[in-house]
Structure 1
Amino acid sequence: MKKFIAGAILVSSSTLAFAGNDLAGCGLGTAVVFPDANEWHEHVLAATTNGTSGNQTFGMTSGTLGCEGANGPLKLAQAFMEDNMDQLALDAAKGQGETLAALAEVIGVDAQDSAAFNRTMQSNFDSMFNADATSATAYEAMTSAMAQDAALQKYLG
């Protein structure tokens, strides 16, 4: 058990050395519990607090807890896509469906723009959900496609 803990600390500290001060992300641990974290172990504790307290989603959507600059809805959309890739691909291919509607809601797409969002997802299906697609590449392709649509550009930032 001691070897496991020592290994976890070593991995965390080496990751922190390369990641800089933003490793812990935003959330309760970063904004309230360890706001002035300078040491690697403080960053690890802040990240652990953020991860275990389940408050990052709230912070991103509300723009609080140090998530003000995190572009909340789009960060949340990226996580949503990661968790729902298969069903999202099916819905995008059809240009409609519950998962596609949920993604639009997460992004904050207004009702009057939902048809444009669905069309954009369907017409860009091949670039988003090709054989080598990951949630990250699908997200990049989606935001790129949205940037090309006048009605959807406003949701990007």
Structure 2
Amino acid sequence: MKKLLLTVVLSGASFGVLANGPAGCGLGTAVVFQNANEFHEHVLAATTNGTSGNQTFGMTSGTLGCEAANGPLKKGLAMFLNNNLEPLAVDVAKGQGETLDALANLMEIKAEDKALFNQTLQTNFDKVFASEQVNASTAYQSIVAVMEQDQVLAKYLA
């Protein structure tokens, strides 16, 4: 019975590879079977991607051969905000700091606009961190809303 189940799973994975080309992104594609050229290598890469459960991480962070998604997941911002929300709030309140610099870098804010970025977020601290229930998603949405109001910073949202 186990062999039959394994055959069905591998067959399903192989049809997905045939229909979609290479195995997609993930640990299997980016690390284990990095230079896959043969059909069976793509099947094994797809199986590794599927069973290791790392594609969500790869898509969120833009790693493991995955392109980062647009919106709040763009350029790994979701992961960054999830892991650094408290130190970011402290830096935004001060108008400077390592976490605020890292956010500016992730958002590809040019050096000549970083002071404006820092000042704008500091001035709008109460909008970005409106309550204790702020999470990565609401903080991101508030940062975007604040940046949209400034002609110089709005260009970084495109």
Q: Deviations over 1:112-143 (max 9, x none)?
A: 11011101111111121122211111111001
Q: Deviations over 1:73-106 (max 9, x none)?
A: 8341222111001110000001111110111011
SS at match of 1:27: coil
Q: Structure 1 residues 97, 79: closer, same or farther in 2, change over 3 A?
A: same
Q: 1:50 aligned to 51, 55, 78, which one?
A: 55
Give me the TM-score of the superposition, normalised by structure 1: 0.61
SS at match of 2:50: helix
Q: Within the alignment, does 1:28 sit opposite 2:29 as a pair?
A: no
Amino acid at match of 1:57: S
Residue pair 2:82, 2:136 contacting (<8 A) in 1 also: yes
Q: Structure 1 residues 55, 66: closer, same or farther in 2, change over 3 A?
A: closer
Aligned length: 120
Deviation for aligned residue 1:31: 7.7
Q: Structure 1 residues 119, 47: closer, same or farther in 2, change over 3 A?
A: farther
Q: Within the alignment, does 1:78 sit opposite 2:78 as a pair?
A: yes
**C-alpha distance in structure 2 between counterparts of 1:122 and 1:48, whole Å:** 38
**C-alpha distance in structure 2 between counterparts of 1:116 and 1:47, whole Å:** 42
Equivalence for 1:147:
148
Query: Percent of aligned pairs with the same residue?
Result: 36
Equivalence for 2:94:
94
Equivalence for 2:119:
119
- Greater Rg, structure 1 or structure 2? 2
Q: Structure 1 residues 45, 84: closer, same or farther in 2, change over 3 A?
A: same
Amino acid at match of 1:143: V
Q: Which runs of 5+ in 2 are unaligned?
A: 1-23, 31-41
